């Protein structure tokens, strides 16, 4: 196509310089434009559908990843709770060892002034 024909066709599709066309030519241009718009709309719908499919796949991937991370966090949390429980048991056992019967603990009850208590303790 020559450059002149391309410019004329472009002006025709833009609606410029239509005064010299007959009714038949204008109807033919209108039909061409309607076919072009239909093709464009079909292509647009295809692109939207492809994008929707891609986004649905991405959503599935993200949901799976979220589930996996949630399970990992739950197992980590329960493991951490078990470790905390074990540490508490170790602390209790250490405390129990300190208060074993072999440790000396004064269990007598003294009533009175501190001087009296000291004198009584020294006498025994």
* Domain boundaries of the chain, sorted by first residue: 3-90
Q: What is the DSSP letter of 112?
A: S
Q: For 38-66, write each residue's pLDDT tens digit.
A: 999 999 999 999 999 999 999 999 999 99
User: DSSP secondary structure string, 37-72?
Assistant: HHHHHHHHHHHHHHHHHHHHHHHHHHHHHHHHHHHH
Q: For 58-117, write each residue's pLDDT tens digit.
A: 999 999 999 999 998 888 777 776 666 666 555 555 555 555 555 556 666 666 676 665
User: How far apart, in Å, are the Cα atoms of 84 and each of 72, 78, 80?
Assistant: 18, 10, 6
């Amino acid at each position: 196509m020559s450059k002149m024909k391309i410019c004329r066709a472009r002006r025709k599709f833009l609606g410029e310089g239509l005064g010299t066309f007959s009714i038949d030519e204008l109807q033919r241009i209108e039909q061409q434009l309607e076919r072009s718009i239909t093709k464009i709309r079909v292509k647009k719908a295809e692109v939207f559908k492809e994008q929707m499919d891609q986004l649905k796949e991405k959503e599935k991937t993200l949901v799976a990843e979220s589930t996996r991370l949630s399970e990992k966090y739950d197992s980590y949390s329960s493991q951490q709770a078990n470790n905390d429980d074990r540490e508490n048991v170790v602390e209790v056992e250490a405390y129990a060892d300190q208060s074993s019967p072999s440790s000396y603990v004064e269990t007598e009850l003294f009533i009175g002034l501190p001087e009296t208590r000291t004198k009584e303790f020294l006498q025994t």
